[in-house]
Amino acid sequence: MSETKISIRNLYKIFGRNPASMVDRVRGGLSKPDLLDQHNHVLGLEDINLDIPASGVQVIMGLSGSGKSTLIRHINRLIEPTAGEIFIDGENVLAMKPEKLRDFRRFKASMVFQKFALLPHRTVIQNVLYGVQIQGVDEKQALDRAQRWLERVGLKGFELHYPAQLSGGMQQRVGLARALATDAEILLMDEAFSALDPLIRTDMQDVLLDLQDELHKTIVFITHDLDEALRIGENIAILRDGRMIQSGSGQDIILKPADAYVTDFIQDINRARVLQVGSVMDKDPSSATGPEIESTTAMEEALQVLAKSKAQSAIVVRRGKQVGSISLDQMIAAIARPKQGAAPEQRYR
């Protein structure tokens, strides 16, 4: 694991008339519904702890109302926490004076929004320019930079259009270019692709993954869509009712769901496509026979390899070294759907 870029410690957010006075009650075990009933305060986030590695993609996932958008807005302090700490590169964001915070937002973290939030009165190129202009970069250099990013997201030729003249997918490309043009190390994406059609969404995911291969930014990506989370995220944190109920790699979450809620969540995932051989194998290659399969291969491909070579098992390799073995039975067991987690009356909002 690389070094930690963003570190969130014991973060609480309570909405209401006097949130600070409620923190201790919540720490003492008062639940979200009780807090609302007895004190008329809403518990937004409860004791969030999360370390986000540099140059990685951290997905924060949850259904609506789970607090994920609230959480991401704490990272650049669009929302002030009720209690807790946030460190970025070891510096406490919450201690920043307004001036410092502005510089932090200008140079260090940029954001992409669910509903694009483009400036409707500015042309496409002026929108991309927005963050760069605020940084105070001189006009010509800024224009060069904006032009480069606009081309990078595939919108060359649309410079002088207004956002309202573009489709949703194209508007979000502008949003992405605007965020990238500031050269910030941290990219905050708040359900950035949720408002797009499925095909365009996949398209945008590809654009993002391509860019990330090259840029190695620290990306915090919010989504309510598990397929998207698994596709994009190296790490996934799952929020429910303001609590973080599981955090780990996509493979971890599918193979070891923390509770019934997560189990339910992963019900409809195409496990054969998502699960990798390396996450299911025996870590003892000594007795292995059969064809060699790379450990990051998805189950559906590995199964085809086995079928083709009529083998019952395979040797798993990682960077040319044998690291384990896997049998056909193991693979089939792994891609079977887990039993449904929660009782029907506990289903979620």
Partner 1 sequence: MIDWTKLTWTQPPVMARDDLRDLKKLIDGSFRDFSREYGEALENFFYPLLKFLAGLQQLLLATPWPLMLVLLGLFAWIGSRSWKMVAGTVACFLVIGWLDMWEDTMATLAIVSVATFLCIAIGIPVGIWMARSNRVQAAILPILDIMQTIPSFVYLIPVVMLLGIGKVPGLIAVMIYAIPPIVRLTNLGIRLVDEEVLEAADAFGASRRERLWGVQIPLALPNIFAGVNQTIMMSLSMVVVASMIGVPGLGVPVLRAVTNQYLALGLMNGLAIVAIAIIFDRVSQSFGKRLQKHREGGHGV
The least CB distance from residue 164 to partner 1, in Å, is 4
- Residue 80 binding partner 1, by CB under 8 A: no
Longest CA–CA span in the chain (Å) reads 67
Within a 13 Å sphere around the CA of 157, how many CA atoms are in the beta-carbon half? 2
What residues pair up with 236 in beta bridges, in sequence order?
Answer: 59, 248
The least CB distance from residue 309 to partner 1, in Å, is 52
Q: How many CB atoms lie within 10 A of CB 115?
A: 13
Structure tokens at 105: 């937002």
Among the listed residues 42, 54, 63, 78, the single contact to partner 1 using CB under 8 A: 78
The least CB distance from residue 263 to partner 1, in Å, is 35
The least CB distance from residue 18 to partner 1, in Å, is 20
The backbone torsions φ and ψ at residue 83, rounded to the nearest 5 degrees and listed phi first, read -155, 160
Question: How wide is the angle at C-alpha 182 spanned by C-alphas 177 and 187, nearest 5°?
Answer: 75
Q: Which of residues 13 and 271 has its CB atom nearest to partner 1 in the complex? A: 13
Contacts 24+ apart (CB under 8 A), 118-123: 118/163, 118/171, 118/174, 118/175, 118/178, 119/163, 120/162, 120/163, 120/164, 121/162, 122/162, 122/163, 123/159, 123/160, 123/161, 123/162
Among the listed residues 76, 235, 295, 325, the single contact to partner 1 using CB under 8 A: 76
Q: Which stretch binds partner 1 (CB under 8 A): 11-19, 99-107, 313-321, 323-331?
A: 99-107
Among the listed residues 120, 154, 157, 198, the single contact to partner 1 using CB under 8 A: 120
Site string for partner 1, 240-259 (x = CB under 8 A): --------------------
Among the listed residues 164, 199, 336, 343, the single contact to partner 1 using CB under 8 A: 164
The least CB distance from residue 1 to partner 1, in Å, is 28
Structure tokens at 282: 């025996």
- Residue 119 binding partner 1, by CB under 8 A: yes
Site string for partner 1, 171-210 (x = CB under 8 A): -------x---x-----x----------------------
Among the listed residues 65, 168, 285, 338, the single contact to partner 1 using CB under 8 A: 168
- Residue 113 binding partner 1, by CB under 8 A: yes
Report the amino acid identity of residue 304.
Answer: Q
Q: Which of residues 122-151 bind partner 1 (CB under 8 A)?
A: 122, 130-131, 134-135
Find tokens 């992405």 and name the residue. 176
Structure tokens at 287: 């007795």
Listed residue (64, 49, 59) closest to 188, CA to CA: 59
Q: Specify the 3-state DSSP secondary structure of 97.
A: coil
Q: Which stretch binds partner 1 (CB under 8 A): 3-11, 160-168, 199-207, 326-334?
A: 160-168
Helices then strands, counting H and E runs in the chain, come out as 15, 13
Q: Which of residues 104 and 261 has its CB atom nearest to partner 1 in the complex? A: 104
Q: How many residues does the chain have?
A: 349
The least CB distance from residue 269 to partner 1, in Å, is 31
Strand order in the sheet with 57-61: 109-112, 186-190, 218-223, 57-61, 235-240, 243-248
The least CB distance from residue 74 to partner 1, in Å, is 12
Among the listed residues 82, 110, 276, 327, the single contact to partner 1 using CB under 8 A: 110
Q: Which of residues 11-50 bind partner 1 (CB under 8 A)?
A: none
- State the residues that interact with partner 1 by CB under 8 A: 76, 78, 102-107, 109-111, 113, 115, 117-122, 130-131, 134-135, 161-168, 178, 182, 188
